[in-house]
Amino acid sequence: MTAHVSFSRLEQVQLVVGRTIQAVLLGEFIAGLLTANWWLAFVTAQAIVASVLPAILARNTRLNAPAGFQLTVILFIFATIFLGEVHQYYERFWWWDMMLHASSGLILGWVAFLFLFTLFDYQRVNMPPILLSCFAVAFAMATGTLWEIFEFIVDKTMGMEMQRGGLSDASGLEDTMSDHIVNALGASIAVAIAYWRVTRQRGRHWVKAAASEFLDEQYRPSVPKDAD
């Protein structure tokens, strides 16, 4: 018997928007196959796979992927791969790449802090918030590094220009380092906010409540009702 899952109105809107974007990506992927535009098919296939990863991981673990988080991932993938690569937003808007890397830093830093907070809280390990914050920033930067490695591999194997070098830097090194710096700044801002909240008693309850949303319901810890 399949369990009935109820969604709030906001979650329903988030799911509809997310599914609509995925349908657009699927349509572009099919168009790429029919027209033998293998680059378009490859790029959109990347976006589709990346957009469903959170739900797949949550389904096979004790984790949960809230509708809002899934929509955030889908929107980010859509803006990065589809708008950025297919519709050339990276060339049309000079700030597009910086905005996305700053956003990814914010998202990764925040989510990493919540996951680590949940992990240590669940294991009853008293981890100092400052050390937790350092690990969260490190995780965000490591993930950004993996993305840069992915861009390098794609450029070398498929002749693309994901690592964009300007006229003064054909190697793309300036672009790569700028991405790392912006990603680190974004992660630091998100983690600083989380650190400030978790070091306050009521703020700690709020962080705990936010973190518990990423756990399956049967594993969620109890959170005081007055958490703000």
User: Could you list the pLDDT tens digit for every one of the 228 residues in the chain?
Assistant: 444 455 677 678 778 888 899 899 999 999 999 998 888 888 889 888 888 888 787 777 766 777 778 888 888 888 988 888 788 888 899 899 899 999 999 999 988 888 888 777 666 667 788 888 999 999 999 998 998 888 888 778 877 676 765 545 566 678 788 889 999 999 999 999 888 888 876 666 767 777 777 766 655 555 555 444
| 49, 118: one domain | no
Our separate counts of H helices and E strands in the chain read: 8, 0
Q: How many CA atoms lie within 13 A of 68 on its CB side?
A: 8
| 26, 131: one domain | no
Look at residues 87, 108, 130 and tell me which one is the last residue of a structural domain: 87
pTM score of the predicted model = 0.75
| 213, 109: one domain | yes
pLDDT value at residue 3: 47
Structure tokens at 207: 């962080």
Structure tokens at 159: 């002749």
| 153, 80: one domain | no
| 19, 114: one domain | no
pLDDT tens track for 13-40: 778 888 899 899 999 999 999 998 888 8
User: For residue 32, what are the β-bridge partners?
Assistant: none
| 112, 209: one domain | yes
| 114, 195: one domain | yes
User: For residue 63, what are the β-bridge partners?
Assistant: 215
Domain span at residue 155?
A: 94-228
pLDDT tens track for 141-164: 999 899 888 888 877 887 767 676
| 2: in domain | no
pLDDT value at residue 183: 92
Give the other-Cβ count within 10 Å of 87's Cβ.
Answer: 10
Look at residues 61, 87, 113 and tell me which one is the last residue of a structural domain: 87
| 36, 116: one domain | no
Region for residue 172 given its phi and psi (left: phi exceeds 0; alpha: psi -120 to 50; beta: otherwise): left
Look at residues 58, 87, 116 and tell me which one is the last residue of a structural domain: 87
Question: Distance between alpha carbon 149 and the CA centroid of its chain, in Å?
Answer: 17
How many domains does the structure of the chain reveal?
2
Burial class (CB in 10 A: 0-12, 13-18, 19+), 161: middle
pLDDT value at residue 228: 47
Per-residue buried b or exposed e for 9-27, using 16+ beta carbons within 10 Å of the residue's own CB: eebeebeeebeebbeebee
Helices (H), 35-163: 38-59, 67-77, 89-92, 96-122, 129-158
| 171: in domain | yes
| 119, 182: one domain | yes
